[in-house]
Structure 1
């Protein structure tokens, strides 16, 4: 019998992230194309990123850099403070990024590539996309 996928992290406030990370083997993190899925509430990266980073488990390390598609995320600051730490925001100029992803970098721990569920997705579509990464 297959184990049920891990539950979607329940939002605790209007700014909480909606995040699901793919299960990892007991012997440590393995390379994969997509490490999880994130369903932000808006396209305002500076407003959404703090909640996302707060939801990550400690073994993901301290995220110092985030790379996103400039086609998906409007222009914004090059750095933001998250929990009193600077996080560098980099934007790629690829014409399209399908599926849309966000790359989180943590020195000494590696990277996480998350599928970005569009903020305006229906609950059904968002669940389907988030379930696809487990």
Structure 2
């Protein structure tokens, strides 16, 4: 896969996102781990999204001078992004960098890795990812965290579906409305027994 690298000055003239970044950082006193926090951008436009993020991180981590991404989820990768007071260089690695991770480098301090939560993620799942990414006991990679959240979402949807199915069976057997005509009770024959979660294991 190739990345689109924009070299035209028009990239630097684009207006950055004016909303505050959705960001959570791991506590500073925790043991170094694979992820230093989580960032939930509002779009896949690095030119619009990065300035606000870096303006918050500069005073916390030292001036960020370089950012790298995996081009898998970024349709356009600018070579430079203007941030208040300086310019940040943007690079990309395809095989070497986790596609769900943003790597930030500070010339004077070091490097940090942020989980990038896809912009289209549902708020509840994004909140779960942010909490998991900053949990001191965490040990998953950025992609591992995304896959875990997806499994959680699927399990939650299946549980809701299972509850709806139980409710339908209960209704069909007269549990909801005992005055229902007898012709409606025949649906109970279609679903004989709905196993509980414990039985389904």
TM-score bracket, normalised by the shorter chain, equals 0.7 to 0.9
> SS state of the match for residue 127, structure 1?
helix
Q: How many residue pairs align between the two structures?
A: 118
Task: Tell me the CA shift for residue 95 of structure 1.
Answer: 8.7
Per-residue Cα deviation, 1:103-130 (whole angstroms, up to 9, x for no partner): 0100121111000011000000100000
The aligned runs of 1:109-120 (5 Å cut-off) are 109-120=109-120
* Unmatched tracts of structure 2, length 5 or more: 1-16, 135-201
Q: Which moved more, 1:53-62 or 1:85-94?
A: 53-62
Higher helix share: 2
Q: Specify whether residues 14 and 89 from structure 1 end up closer, same or farther in structure 2 by C-alpha distance, changes over 3 A only.
A: same
Name the counterpart of 1:88: 89
Question: Structure 2-normalised TM-score?
Answer: 0.54
CA-based RMSD of the aligned residues comes to 2.1
Question: Structure 1-normalised TM-score?
Answer: 0.80
> SS state of the match for residue 91, structure 2?
strand
Q: Specify whether residues 117 and 20 from structure 1 end up closer, same or farther in structure 2 by C-alpha distance, changes over 3 A only.
A: same
CA separation in 1, counterparts of 2:35 and 2:82?
26
Name the counterpart of 2:19: 15
> SS state of the match for residue 71, structure 1?
helix
CA separation in 2, counterparts of 1:46 and 1:68?
13
* Unmatched tracts of structure 1, length 5 or more: 1-12
The aligned runs of 1:24-63 (5 Å cut-off) are 24-25=28-29, 30-56=31-57, 58-63=59-64
Higher strand share: 1
Task: Tell me the CA shift for residue 37 of structure 1.
Answer: 0.2
Larger Rg: 2
Task: Tell me the CA shift for residue 77 of structure 1.
Answer: 1.8
Name the counterpart of 2:132: 132
Per-residue Cα deviation, 1:42-74 (whole angstroms, up to 9, x for no partner): 000110001111222623000000000111111
> SS state of the match for residue 88, structure 2?
strand
- Does the 8 Å CA contact 2:58/2:64 hold for their aligned counterparts? no
